[in-house]
Amino acid sequence: MVHKALLTCLSVFIILSCGDDHIRTYTLPKQVQSQPEMDLPTNVEPANLQLSWTKPDGWQPSEGSSMRLASFDFPNKGDTGDISLIQLGGDGGGIAANINRWRTQLGLQPVIASLIENEISRIQGKLGEYIFTHIRNEESGQAFLCAIIPSGKVTFFVKMSSNTETAAAGEVDFKSFCSSLHFK
């Protein structure tokens, strides 16, 4: 009797462990913003706000896409820096995660979150303080100039991908472009 009870308990436990219900359905009330956006003028819908900037002279507009808000080429001594401006919701994944993602793309080791401050500089632009980082892989000769520009509920990301020489030559213009971003 005791044998059977124990074996039954064990079987029930194993059967319960093997559930395969991976489709869920539910209804929720439509999500309503809990408060007006603090960083944008409250009398204007965010969709109506247009981002504006001052393009450096050496940059040429390149073919855009639905993902990029703007796209530029920076020709320099046979190389071309590809500059993109995109917008992501929230913090876009955060500073540490993005910097480490870019480092990984360049074949560099990620850095621990507490040392991220050594990799970045904070610059004051027209949209407020933003993060700038210059990531180089001397072995491959590739580099990224990246800026993370928070603005209310969205974050703008500006990135230039090029060789190390072009990145060094374009750093001043890159920063001036990032600092010039503002809403019309």
Partner 1 sequence: MIRILKDPRIFVITIVWMMVLVFAGTIAQKDMGLFAAQNKFFSSWIVWLWYFPFPGGRLTMVIITVNLLFFFFNKSIWKLKKLGIVILHIGGILLLVGGGLTAIYSTEGNMIIDEGAYSDFVEDYHNMELAVVNTTHQKFDSYTVFDQPMLKNGKELHHLHLPFKMKVLNFYKNCEPIRRDTDPGVHYKGMMKNFTLSNQPVAKEDNRNRPGILLEISGTGTTTDGIYGLFLGQSIPQSITVHNDLFELAFRRQRTYLPFSIELIDFKKVLHPGTNMAKSYSSEVNLIENGIGKKKLIQMNEPLRHGGYTFYQASFMEGQHRETTVLAAVKNYGRMFPYISSIIMCIGLLFHLCIKMPDLFKRKKS
Q: Choose which of 1, 4, 15, 22 interacts with partner 1 (CB under 8 A).
A: 22
Q: Print the binding letters for residues 69-108 with partner 1: x by CB under 8 A, - otherwise.
A: -----------------xxxx-xxxx--x--xx--xx---
- The Cα–Cα gap between 61 and 159 comes to 14
Q: For residue 120, give the amino acid letter.
A: I
Cβ at position 67, least distance to partner 1 in Å: 6
Stretch that binds partner 1, among 31-39, 137-145, 161-169, 172-180 (CB under 8 A): 31-39
Judged by CB under 8 A, the number of residues near partner 1 is 47
Q: Is the CB of 34 or the CB of 50 nearer to partner 1?
A: 34
- The Cα–Cα gap between 26 and 17 comes to 24
Q: Print the binding letters for residues 110-139 with partner 1: x by CB under 8 A, - otherwise.
A: x------x----------xx----------
Asked if residue 28 binds partner 1 (CB under 8 A), the reply is yes
Stretch that binds partner 1, among 26-34, 50-58, 163-171, 174-182 (CB under 8 A): 26-34
Are the C-beta atoms of residues 152 and 49 closer than 8 Å to each other?
no
Q: Choose which of 1, 15, 38, 47 interacts with partner 1 (CB under 8 A).
A: 38
Task: Let me know the angle formed at the C-alpha of 128 by 38 and 168, rounded to the nearest 5 degrees.
Answer: 145
Q: Is the CB of 43 or the CB of 114 nearer to partner 1?
A: 114
Categorise residue 57: left if φ over 0, alpha if ψ from -120 to 50, beta otherwise.
Answer: alpha
Are the C-beta atoms of residues 145 and 66 closer than 8 Å to each other?
no
Output Rg (C-alpha) for the chain, integer angstroms: 24
- The Cα–Cα gap between 34 and 147 comes to 29
CA nearest neighbour of 83 among 184, 156, 137, 150: 156
For residue 78, count other CB atoms closer than 10 A to its CB.
8
Interface contacts to partner 1, rule CB under 8 A: 2-3, 6, 10, 13, 16-17, 20, 22-31, 34-35, 38-39, 65-68, 86-89, 91-94, 97, 100-101, 104-105, 110, 117, 128-129, 150-152, 154
